[in-house]
Amino acid sequence: MLPPAARLTRSQDFGLVVRRGRRAGRPRLVVHVLKPDVPTLDSSKVGFVVSKAVGNSVVRHRVYRRLRHVVRPALDELPPGTLVVVRALAPAAEASSSELAADFTSALRKVLR
């Protein structure tokens, strides 16, 4: 589980990250990252988008849980105040946790360059 302070919950925050942040796509997911303009001590936050294109409710929640598990260790390594949105694509439904982890770390590395 992600701590409440590390969750993106407002629709406006999701929109801001997707519109103004940098993006990197991989076969199973897309990662959007918005780094703060000025240094801050706020914690990094992450949000997930798993649409019906991924599958039915059971499949979507399974993908969401796997992504949460993959992203949690990376939160400590992000610059403070960074906002991240992870959008799952349809192939994420058949992906293993290790495949999702590889896609996430690869996309995050590209965006943070």
Tens of pLDDT, residue by residue over 22-67, are 999 999 999 999 999 888 888 999 999 999 999 999 999 999 999 9
CATH number for region 4-112: 3.30.230.10
Least confident window among 15-19, 36-40, 44-48, 87-91: 36-40
* pLDDT for residue 37: 85
Query: How does the average pLDDT of the chain come out, rounded?
Result: 95
- 8 Å CB contact between 86 and 48: yes
Residues in the chain: 113
d(CA 52, CA 59): 9
Using CA atoms, how far apart are residues 99 and 86, in angstroms rounded to an integer? 15
